Amino acid sequence: MWDAGAGSGAGQLAAAQTGTAPGSGSGSGTQGTGNGPATGSEPCGFVEFSDPHGSAFDPRTRGFYVDIRMRVHFADGTSQSLVLDYPWYYASESANPWSEQNLRDPAFPTRFQPPPQSKLGDEPELVRYVIDHSTAEGLTLLRDCPNPAPSS
């Protein structure tokens, strides 16, 4: 999971790496492209990952390649998604968040895997946003969004 909020559901990012669920919303407006470290005032929101094409077994490495759809939810209630232009790789079925055994575990982590160095400079703004708000371990730095005030 990608540390992104509280909740549950395989393939989603989880706050503080405790599960696989979304929080609610994340920063609004245009996305930054900076490469600097997190400032401690991260926007709120969450990211979800899914595998639109299933896992592909690689008999050479005995691992799995997975195409990834990433959806980023922003604080203003909007979201953006795309299918990444590079697959994620898992060395075994037990490491693959989309294996049958791991899909049954709502707390199984799905961590963001950045693009290969050769693609890094050409990634869309949405991918750069997630990179900019993630740790090297693939956990998000996005914080939970406050619940909206109840209407009277």
Phi-psi group of 49: left, alpha or beta (phi > 0 → left; psi -120 to 50 → alpha; rest → beta):
beta
Residue 35 domain-assigned (yes or no): yes
Residue 25 domain-assigned (yes or no): yes
Number of domains in the chain: 1
The DSSP 8-state label assigned to residue 49 in this structure reads: E
What contacts 85, CB < 8 A, 6 or more positions away? 115, 119, 123
What contacts 46, CB < 8 A, 6 or more positions away? 4, 5, 12, 13, 15, 22, 23, 24, 25, 26, 72, 73, 140, 142
- Taking only the tens of pLDDT, the chain with its 152 residues reads 333 333 333 333 333 233 333 333 333 333 333 334 444 578 999 999 999 999 999 999 999 999 999 999 999 999 999 999 999 999 999 999 999 999 999 999 999 999 999 999 999 999 999 999 999 999 999 998 887 655 55
Residue 1 domain-assigned (yes or no): no
Residue 3 domain-assigned (yes or no): no
Tally of CB atoms within 10 A around 3: 26
Domain housing 29? 15-132
Residue 29 domain-assigned (yes or no): yes
Residue 90 domain-assigned (yes or no): yes
Whole-model pTM over 0.85: no
